Amino acid sequence: MKPRKKKTSRKRPCLNDLIGECHSIARSKGWWEDERNDGELIALMHSELSEALEAMRARGSKDNIAEELADCCIRIFDFCGAREIDLEKILVKKIEYNKTRPYRHGKKF
């Protein structure tokens, strides 16, 4: 049996740092020179998920699919940065809540 690695104290991921960085880059590239429409920004998040689906349909590699998922995260992070949404706080809260939910959340599918 392989010896277990000693658990090291992992730093909690600092999602808000990534949010700040994504939004800063988007600003520096001119994406926020004018006020942006929330509906359009949400649609652009969807577009990245559609690209992930197309990568799957085209039998793309895991890296191809992951790149599109990363693009979606970047758009979400940029949005949260612009709108000063504390995604990290709410994400942790939702994860903890999901632990308390029933099997399959009590749903059929």
Shorter beta-carbon distance to Mg ion: residue 68 or 78:
68
Q: Is 69 in the site for Mg ion (CB under 5 A)?
A: no
Q: Is 49 in the site for Mg ion (CB under 5 A)?
A: no
Q: Is 51 in the site for Mg ion (CB under 5 A)?
A: yes
Q: Are 22 and 78 in contact (CB under 8 A)?
A: yes
Stretch that binds Mg ion, among 7-15, 19-27, 43-51, 96-104 (CB under 5 A): 43-51
Shorter beta-carbon distance to Mg ion: residue 23 or 75:
75
Q: Is 71 in the site for Mg ion (CB under 5 A)?
A: yes
Residues in the site for Mg ion, rule: CB under 5 A?
48, 51, 68, 71
